[in-house]
Amino acid sequence: MRAVNYYLVVQPIKEKEKKIGGLLISDTINEDNRYLKGKIITKGNLVEGVEESDIVHYDKHAGHSIHWQDKAYEVIKAQDIVLVE
The verdict on residue 51 lying in a domain is yes
The verdict on residue 48 lying in a domain is yes
The verdict on residue 1 lying in a domain is no
Burial grade of 35 (CB within 10 A; 0-12, 13-18, 19 or more): middle
- Cα 37 to Cα 8: distance, rounded to the nearest angstrom: 14
The verdict on residue 47 lying in a domain is yes
Domain membership of residue 77 as a residue range: 7-84
pLDDT for 5-19, tens place per residue? 999 999 999 877 667
Mean of the per-residue pLDDT values for the chain? 89
Q: pTM of the full predicted structure?
A: 0.81
